[in-house]
Amino acid sequence: MRNVFAVAGIVIKELYRRKDFYVLFILTVLICLVMASVNIFNDKQIVRYLKELCLLLIWVSSLVIAITTTARQIPAEREQRTLLPLLAKPLTRTQLIFGKFLGCWIACGLVLVCFYFAFSVLAASRDHAWPLLNYFQAAFLHWIMLGVVVAMALLGSLVFAAPSSNSTICFVVIATILTVGRYLDAVAVAQPEPFRSIIYTVYFAIPHLEIPFELRNLIVHDWPLIGWNFVALDALYLLAYAAAFLVAACLIFRRKPLN
Amino acid sequence: MVTILKADKLRVEYRNREMRQATKIALAGLDLEVHAGEVFGFLGPNGAGKTTTMNVLLGFVQPTSGAASLFGIDVRQPIARRRIGYLPELTYYYKFLTAEELLRFYAKIFGLPRSEADRRIDDLLKLVELEHARKRPIKSYSKGMQQRVGLAQALINNPDLLILDEPTSGLDPLGRMKVREIIQRLKNEGKTVFFSSHELGEVETVCDRVAIIHQGELKVVGRVDEIKKTHHSNLEQAFLEIIGYQPQTAS
């Protein structure tokens, strides 16, 4: 584990020393502040729309950071040739993959802490409420969901030649899962065979990321908390997908020549 | 004499994915032995198979056939790399780290205790003359400084065997001299150094033995003075003769 943590530490250092995160964070906060300062039609419920838009921005920003940070990890190591002195040390390729995953995932967690803290301050200034447990549930499952995204992007970085193509494909896949993934079973029912079976297979094979995404509503509409056992089950379900992507990444990377 | 590095009938073939392209033979049954305490020069023209040999020794490339070992351990085992240091050709280290942080990171991978790591980092930064720049990000380093930080990372675990791939490539005469001095100092400390280079003058100065490889085949291996004596010339002319270079005369 020592090697995994050492690699993860470098990834985290890279994130806070690069400007990507700060740019996105400042941009998101600025947009949210501008929205918060506007009072449309004297609507008392306007704060809900504000919260919804802010959370959507946080989701988009977190996906951008997770995918772009992860997608460049292995290609940058290859391009800069730092992979060679690294693997010439007693570090296995599996440890490197797990270290990169852990580093990107923890970095995403730190990013979420910053985003949700800024959001909670902004929301409290308008709403005069601080539902910490709701924020925790939403942020926790958001972070677990980013684990799937990070593992997927890491696998993609070993399959696709360029980080840009990997990032684009990951964005399209995640956006598709979030928007239409949950309706695939309904689509399958209306299709003749063999399309029905194919769509059903896709429906059951893809990771369903909609629960963390829909947990935004806990905050937006001040709904009561969902059961902690349900949160734990969804977290386990998502972690299983992240593990599957990581195992695939390790298997591919172990066979990849480094010359 | 203790054999530190051994290659036994090493063969590496690269299959070209494109149609109608022949399989490239990078190494054709290479046999090589490097003994403890010697500085061994690995010479050959570009594309001769020097880097491929190093890649096999470091476990980056699987040989098509044959075997290689470091300290008697198969190179495919990560433990074989515990006692080696490796400096690749033209590496751009993590730009966002300082030299000190980079060395600390590599020290962690070797599991060096904090006090030991601190001591090694201080010694190495002194050795490669980067003490003044230890807190500066690597992105602000010149090429020579980057190469020296590379040398420092290769030495972080106090290795018994140092594998250097063209360590003076792209350096100015001063930088080359400094690297040569470091190799000489390591030799005096009893370390084994295996390095490839195109700078034959430098090889002549620091190497005990050399091997010349051409088109994946080992052409000659022996002491520098013996090779020079056999070919009645300096190492450069002997090298050109061995690889079959025919100078073109103006008609």
Considering only the beta carbons, identify the residue of B55, B91, B106 that sits closest to A259.
B55
Could you tell me which of B160, B157, B155 has the C-alpha nearest to residue B179? B155
> Alpha helices of chain A — where are they, by DSSP H?
2-17, 20-37, 46-79, 83-87, 93-127, 132-159, 163-180, 184-189, 195-205, 210-214, 216-220, 228-255
Q: Would residue B44 be called left, alpha or beta, if left means φ above 0 and alpha means ψ between -120 and 50 degrees? A: left
Confirm or reject contact between A128 and chain B (CB < 8 A): no
pLDDT band of B25, cuts 50, 70, 90: confident
pLDDT of residue B100: 93
B-chain CB neighbours of A2 within 8 Å are 108-109, 111
Mean pLDDT for B14-25 is: 72
pLDDT band of A259, cuts 50, 70, 90: low
Close Cβ partners of B124 (under 8 Å, ≥ 6 residues apart): B103, B152, B155, B156
Strands (E), B36-134: 39-43, 65-70, 73-74, 84-87
Return phi, psi of residue B4, to 5°. -95, -40
Q: Would residue B23 be called left, alpha or beta, if left means φ above 0 and alpha means ψ between -120 and 50 degrees? A: beta
Question: Among A98-112, A136-150, B5-19, B25-39, which is the least confidently predicted range?
Answer: B5-19
Higher pLDDT, A36 or A135: A135
Confirm or reject contact between A251 and chain B (CB < 8 A): no
Summarize pLDDT for A83-132 with one digit per residue, the tens.
888 888 888 899 999 999 999 999 999 999 999 998 888 888 877 778 88
Mean pLDDT for B39-44 is: 90
Inter-chain residue contact B87 with A92, CB threshold 8 Å: no
pLDDT of residue B113: 92
The number of C-beta contacts closer than 8 angstroms across A and B is: 82
Considering only the beta carbons, identify the residue of A88, A89, A259 that sits closest to B61.
A259
Mean pLDDT for B195-211 is: 85
Inter-chain residue contact B60 with A258, CB threshold 8 Å: yes
pLDDT of residue A249: 94
Could you tell me which of A22, A1, A151, A21 has the C-alpha nearest to residue A74? A151
Summarize pLDDT for B134-169 with one digit per residue, the tens.
899 998 988 888 888 988 999 998 898 999 888 887
CB A17 within 8 A of CB A108: no
Inter-chain residue contact B79 with A13, CB threshold 8 Å: no
Residues 181-220 of chain A with CB under 8 A from chain B are none
Round the average pLDDT of chain B to a whole number and report it.
86
For chain B, give the percent of residues with pLDDT over 70.
96
pLDDT of residue A146: 95
For residue A40, which amino acid is it? I
Round the average pLDDT of chain A to a whole number and report it.
88
A-chain CB neighbours of B110 within 8 Å are 89-90
Summarize pLDDT for B83-137 with one digit per residue, the tens.
889 988 877 888 889 999 999 999 999 989 999 999 999 999 998 888 888 899 9
pLDDT band of B249, cuts 50, 70, 90: low
Question: Angle formed by the axes of helices B143-154 and B99-109, to 10°?
Answer: 20
For chain B, give the percent of residues with pLDDT over 90.
15
Inter-chain residue contact A9 with B105, CB threshold 8 Å: yes
pLDDT of residue B19: 59
| Chain A residue at shortest CA distance from B152 | A85
pLDDT of residue B177: 84
Higher pLDDT, A185 or B251: A185
pLDDT band of A216, cuts 50, 70, 90: confident
Inter-chain residue contact B78 with A81, CB threshold 8 Å: no
Q: How far apart are CA B148 and CA B152, in angstroms?
A: 6
Confirm or reject contact between B69 and chain A (CB < 8 A): no
Inter-chain residue contact A80 with B93, CB threshold 8 Å: yes
pLDDT of residue B250: 54
Q: What angle do CA A8, A10, A16 make, to 5 degrees?
A: 105
Q: In terms of residue numbers, what domain contains A210?
A: 2-255
Kindly tell me if the per-residue pLDDT of B241 is higher than 80: yes
Inter-chain residue contact A6 with B52, CB threshold 8 Å: no
Q: pTM for this one?
A: 0.86
For residue B45, give the 3-state DSSP assignment.
coil
Considering only the beta carbons, identify the residue of A3, A88, A257 that sits closest to B58.
A88
Kindly tell me if the per-residue pLDDT of B18 is higher than 70: no
Close Cβ partners of B105 (under 8 Å, ≥ 6 residues apart): A6, A9, A10, B97
Inter-chain residue contact A81 with B163, CB threshold 8 Å: no
pLDDT of residue A122: 84
Q: How far apart are CA B58 and CA B60, in angstroms?
A: 6
Kindly tell me if the per-residue pLDDT of B240 is higher than 80: yes
Q: How far apart are CA A221 and CA A48, in angstroms?
A: 7
pLDDT of residue A59: 92
When scoring A22, A89, A93 by the number of chain B Cβ atoms within 10 A, the one with the most, hence best to mutate, is A89
For chain A, give the percent of residues with pLDDT over 90.
42
Higher pLDDT, A94 or A219: A94
What string of H, E and C letters represents the secondary structure of B15-26? CCCCCCCCCEEE
Q: How many structural domains compose chain A?
A: 1
| Chain A residue at shortest CA distance from B101 | A10
Structure token digits, residue B90: 């033209």
For residue A118, give the 3-state DSSP assignment.
helix
pLDDT band of A149, cuts 50, 70, 90: very high
